Structure 1
């Protein structure tokens, strides 16, 4: 049989894992292969329920991609930042300020972090259809079939199983959240590559080493492909920042605001941030591969009150159901505000923004 060939791509070599002793977060490891049996599915649903009601982050293993396949995705993602000119990248700029969309390229220094210091990361978001909603730089064109497969894999083979586990944890029908994330509907679920660049010593002092302020994600489920540069921290239930340790070929999964609103507070959007890496990894770039899942744009972000589990613990709303936004409305408002509009300080560690009646908090 003929063997399928793939176009060659320069290899991205990340930094070695840190050797420093850090305060690591104690995250549960969820083996997705266990969901293949009814007994395994029921057990995982309870574990995921408890994790997402407490810590809010988890590792996912046996997700369907080999380490070699994952490594190649990182290689392809790096093409955009190394094989495409700045001018061509800007020809594919996301309409962040104009339309509240992250689809496309975001350059460095768009967002204000603190004390006048702007961000030093660039990113490229690919609509999940890959070719249906956007055009891409020429250097990426040979890899579009692989990127489409990557997008579909995340949507159908990772996101959907996680959504089913979350629904079962709330004692809702298994497909409840799946039906809100149609691959071909109007919505903003997307694959994204983010590359963080080292900052100057002066910038680190002015921002206290924070590269991206503590925040919750806007969507339902975020899927992050673990990579070696330590910089991601989560706010633990005890109120302390803990580092997320690299686990080879694992996914780091969390839920965001949309899931918190749909679940009536049963699941909490987890606060996390990006900070300066430990000393032995400074000077390296930090390349990340992600899949950000959001419900279809027309989904109204109100609780599933029929959940028996939710009825037992009680609903906690971010706003009254009558004024609850659709996913599209909330997404656009958040994207157009983050790092671009003024915040109101609430003490030393919290800043707030009003997003159409919903209070969005940043933790610094």
Structure 2
């Protein structure tokens, strides 16, 4: 089994730490089922394993839970820090913490809230590095990515590193919401060519959205339509001789339903996307809900491995673009078939 030795090593390293495992207690369950509390879950878990004097405290957590209390908590924290922003730290990927966060926070969320399921597991390889590609949607925090990473780790013991938009690392709002270096420590890889190449050279398992930000940005109307695929993952797959594992997700379109993206507002606030929906009044009252998503059933259908062979340096880019769109059409066909089966199943349930 891939990474079995490294997973055993991680277990030994975690046992050596002087910090006891994080226990998911009654307050955590409350935060799970009360949407403004999700940001508390992330920060409390981080503070259990890391010293974070600039982080949120209990008074501020309590304010998260009342309408507009987040704004007061933000002001109190700003005063407490001497009228400055939290210190930014450049973290490094920590497999130990990724495993702890996965088992202690992500596990109950995936099991009881998103009800994540892996289908066609027979298509999962046992060994080897690869690029796992997935249709990305939801116009919200990337829960479809985190859920798939968790399910793959449980099925094969893999350490999966997702490609993440640069804004998830650098945006000044992130410095206030999430712990310093949080995305990098959990294994996030910046969506930049140099970082992409580094991970490929290390022969790791990378989770990649070929649609890029066009996926979650497309909104509710086009929720089942795949956008144009980038070709960088195909080129790097060819260069480093790494297979591609396509995955189709059904259910991630419901993570933030009825949304549309207003590009002018998105650019004004320098955000990757700005979801406008009937839920927006709640987000204005409770900004800590920014990492929350609607309850959904996330089902992942594993497709057979595919390899890329691009002939000739001069035609490589044009051929790569063609192959990327061929893969998009193939996955679009799979999505259409799965949706058709879902509709038929729902109709049969209604008849009975």
Task: Tell me if TM exceeds 0.5.
Answer: no
TM-score of the two chains, using structure 2 as the length reference: 0.26
Higher strand residue share? 1
Structure with higher Rg: it is 2
TM-score of the two chains, using structure 1 as the length reference: 0.25
